[in-house]
């Protein structure tokens, strides 16, 4: 094969395939990152709408740990801000039954589910 040049052709094909796989991997991961960014923006829109509603229960909710959690300061401060914010909205939705808060809770839950599925896909890739 080496004398006929076939071996060199085979090596080139393997190198080209490896490059193609790497390029595809980067494109897929970039697309998943863009979707996560869109999810974060959608969550932020929901948080802003809830904060603008001036619902007192959403601006401050006692966590039972001797302190208070401030809903409007969590997004972006903590790695778990989305989960923490969701938990605040969920508790208020359960306690008050406000239709806007309940709708926001449902939307945030869907967004968190989508985010988890994307993270699982990234881990699998």
Residue 65, pLDDT score: 46
Collect all residues with Cβ–Cβ distance below 8 Å to 101 and sequence separation of at least 6.
50, 55, 58, 89, 92, 93
Q: What's the average model confidence in pLDDT over 100-113? A: 92
pLDDT in tens, 82-102: 787 888 888 888 887 888 889
pLDDT in tens, 42-64: 988 888 788 777 777 676 543 34
* Tokens coding 5: 């040049």
Residue 2, pLDDT score: 66
Domain ranges of the chain: 34-124
Q: What is the DSSP string of 102-113?
A: HHHHHHHHHHHH
């Amino acid at each position: 094969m080496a004398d006929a040049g076939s071996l060199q052709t085979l090596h080139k094909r393997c190198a080209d395939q490896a490059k193609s796989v790497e390029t595809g991997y980067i494109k897929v991961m970039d697309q998943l990152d863009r979707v996560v960014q869109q999810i974060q923006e959608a969550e932020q829109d929901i948080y802003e709408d809830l904060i603008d509603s001036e619902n007192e229960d959403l601006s401050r909710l006692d966590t039972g740990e001797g302190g208070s959690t401030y809903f409007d300061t969590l997004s972006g401060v903590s790695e778990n801000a989305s989960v923490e914010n969701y938990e605040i909205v969920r508790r208020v939705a359960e306690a008050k039954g406000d239709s806007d808060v309940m709708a926001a809770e449902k939307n945030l839950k869907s967004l968190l589910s989508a985010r988890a599925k994307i993270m699982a896909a990234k881990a699998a890739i």
